Amino acid sequence: MPFYQDFTDENATILFWKYNENDQFNQWELIQPEDFEKVQNYHPKKMAEYLMIRKLLRMAKPDHKILYQSIGKPYLYPKDAFISITHSYPFAALAISTKRVGIDIERIMPKILKIKSKFLHDSETVWTENADEVEFLTVIWVIKEALYKLHPSKYWSLKKHYEVEPFELNDLNEIKCRVFDENFEDRYIAKVIQIEDFYFAIIEENHKINYKIPKNNIF
């Protein structure tokens, strides 16, 4: 079945699609007129991701469309809800909520070891260097990417401004994480789900932890 799973909860509509070769999309119906020129040279996999997202939007809000800010951030039009999108072929997912939401998906692959120094906070290095390092790194990556999409302050450094508390791979339902700088911090609870050889992260503003920690305190 192409429609893979519904992760909708009381706060957000979260829909997930897995592409297969039997999927049939009406491109004239799903491709927005302003996007025709942009997508006409897309690689087939990238086009499939684009169409899956628009099909999910049709399922949830058939009278809306996805537009992009100048910085590339997607938003819903009409602007009556927040959205987050993610895709990594053959999967694509869409989240829609009345409050901010962030989702991300990533395949579990050893190549993440090559870039860990670019996104691991110093405190995370201590507890991720073990036999399951690739899986730990992938979970941290999808959480930080989801946090970036969720948080109104778009800090460029996943290493300096985003941090994930230690967790166990057999318990990914409530992972504490934060966005911070020298003046403030916002803490959240992330939910991570393993789907085949991918990790999928969901963070909702409703799951923000509303308390302050003294400066320079870390997990």
Extents of the domains making up the chain:
3-98, 104-209
What whole-number distance in Å separates Cα of residue 199 and Cα of residue 109? 11
150 pLDDT higher than 60 = yes
What whole-number distance in Å separates Cα of residue 142 and Cα of residue 112? 12
**What does the pLDDT read at residue 169?**
97
Burial class (CB in 10 A: 0-12, 13-18, 19+), 161: buried
20 pLDDT higher than 50 = yes
**What does the pLDDT read at residue 3?**
61
Question: What CATH class is the domain 3-98?
Answer: alpha beta
- pLDDT-derived band at 33 (thresholds 50, 70, 90) equals confident
Cα pseudo-dihedral 85, 88, 89, 92, rounded to 10:
-20
**What does the pLDDT read at residue 102?**
97
CATH superfamily placement of domain 104-209: 4'-phosphopantetheinyl transferase domain (3.90.470.20)
Higher pLDDT, 154 or 107: 107
Arithmetic mean of pLDDT, 18-30: 86
Asked whether the domain spanning 104-209 has the same topology as the one spanning 3-98, the reply is yes
- pLDDT-derived band at 216 (thresholds 50, 70, 90) equals very low
Arithmetic mean of pLDDT, 36-48: 90
**What does the pLDDT read at residue 154?**
79
Using the structure block, give the residue that is written with the tokens 């070769």: 21
Structure tokens at 99: 């409050």
**What does the pLDDT read at residue 66?**
94
Using the structure block, give the residue that is written with the tokens 């789907």: 195
**What does the pLDDT read at residue 2?**
55
Arithmetic mean of pLDDT, 140-156: 93
Mean pLDDT of the chain: 90
